[in-house]
Amino acid sequence: MTYLIRIRPQAERDVNKAYSWYEGQRPGLGREFILEIDKVLLRLSKYPYMYREIHRGVRRAITRRFPIAIFYIATDTEVRVLAIVDMARDVSVWQKRI
């Protein structure tokens, strides 16, 4: 089964900000960042329960190459992405989005 991925608008903004920052560090790095996020989202669409629950149904996936955490809720049919945040920043932002 493949689960539908739903990304909240706030999480989209998280990605856009991070993309701009990485692209500003080195041209092309932003694209590499997006590819890494896409890899994790693809994994979540197939195996949403592979990452542990950290708080009342919220799970956290961490990218391998970038210090980014993806906070999400898995249901029977979909994965709802709440936040995609840099772990060096305030990661509690996801708690305000439940």
Identify which of 84, 95, 89 has the alpha carbon closest to the alpha carbon of residue 5: 84
* pLDDT tens track for 43-54: 999 999 999 999
What superfamily in CATH does domain 4-97 come from?
A: RelE-like (3.30.2310.20)
Residue keyed to tokens 């708690």? 95
pTM of the predicted model as reported, rounded to 2 decimal places: 0.90
* pLDDT tens track for 58-77: 999 999 999 999 999 999 99
Identify which of 72, 47, 48 has the alpha carbon closest to the alpha carbon of residue 59: 72
* 8-state DSSP, 23: H
pLDDT at residue 98 is higher than 80: no
* pLDDT tens track for 6-49: 999 999 999 999 999 999 999 999 999 999 999 999 999 999 99
Q: Where are the domains of the chain?
A: 4-97
Identity (one letter) of the amino acid at 55?
Answer: H
pLDDT at residue 92 is higher than 80: no
* 8-state DSSP, 91: G
**Contact between residue 65 and residue 72 where contact means Cβ atoms under 8 Å apart:** no
Q: How many CB atoms lie within 10 A of CB 96?
A: 9
Identify which of 81, 61, 62, 64 has the alpha carbon closest to the alpha carbon of residue 73: 81
Can you tell me whether residue 16 is helix, strand or coil? Answer: helix
